[in-house]
Amino acid sequence: MLVLLPPSEGKAGAPADAPPVELSALAHPELTPQRERLIEKLDGLTKVDPKRALKALGLGKSQVGEIARNADLLHAPAAPAADVYTGVLYQYLDLHSLKKAERARAADRILIQSALWGVVRLEDRIPAYRLGIGASLPRMKGLAAFWKPALRKALPSDGLVVDMRSGGYVAAWKPADGVLLGVRVFVEENGERSVVTHMAKATRGDVARILVESKDASDEPSGVEKIVADAGLRTELVEPVRAGDPWNLDVILTERVGRLTKA
């Protein structure tokens, strides 16, 4: 079982005296050429044409400070990805409160997909940066298309992937012969269900935490649903309509109680 997370837009910088990233030490070092190309392109764009950089990254004028993070990335202080990504999903995953054995399972089971790094493990040391999968960098095809051939070679073609990503990242990679199990979140009120966005990331963080707290692992969608349901969430498993489509683990909420979103 692989738990595949998206990066977060929110990122914390490493301490100023922390050493920089070592590309050869990141997960799947065979992705180094792609990482180097993107780092070089971001560095040049940031230093030469900040206005163009804002447009390429889909940022507004008020976010000009964000692009400064993309200059000299190879020399910027780096920290574990678990500390750099600070979005809602990671807040609810709450890695730092895990027990030692649970943290070890998280390091083994979780992979983070990134528009800049391809994929990283939780303990991989990276600098804070700004690049989403939807960015349009000059003289480069879309980032999902850019990463697709390299990720197809680097990542396993089979197995079960519990998929927490958004569509852009899904387009960059999925296991050719494996099973994707998406995690969808709904709220049910008066017998009616609706998709929720404001609590979806939090709930996916809850689910990711459940899967690393559990000593059990499963390579079957039904096994993953049992682990999550046994932890107290109301779940439904939805089979694919067509061959090749993902399975879906639906989490149905009626209220938020404590850390877990329970029905």
What's the pLDDT score for residue 63? 84
CA 90 – CA 104 distance, rounded (Å) = 16
Q: What is the pLDDT of residue 260?
A: 47
Buried/exposed code over 81-116 (b: 16+ C-beta within 10 A; e: otherwise): bbbbbebbbbebbebeebeeebbebbbebbbbbbbb
CA-nearest of 93, 172, 133, 126 to 23 is 126
- The DSSP code sequence of 70-102 is GTTTTTSB-EEHHHHB-SHHHHHH-GGGS-HHH
pLDDT of residue 91: 96
Helices (H) and strands (E) in the chain, counts: 10, 12
Residue 64: the pLDDT is 83
At residue 2, the pLDDT reads 97
pLDDT of residue 179: 96
pLDDT tens for the 263 residues of the chain, in order: 999 999 999 999 999 999 999 999 999 999 999 999 999 999 999 999 888 999 999 988 888 888 889 999 999 999 999 999 999 999 999 999 999 999 999 999 999 999 999 999 999 999 999 999 999 999 888 999 999 999 999 999 999 999 999 888 999 999 999 999 999 999 988 778 888 777 899 999 999 999 999 999 999 999 999 999 999 999 999 999 998 899 999 999 986 443 444 44
Q: Is 136 helix (H, G, I), strand (E, B) or coil?
A: coil
**Beta carbons within 8 Å of 111's beta carbon, 6+ residues apart:** 2, 3, 4, 5, 27, 119, 120, 121
CB 70 within 8 A of CB 130: yes
Task: List CB contacts of 47: < 8 A, sequence separation 6 or more.
Answer: 71
- Residue 255: the pLDDT is 61
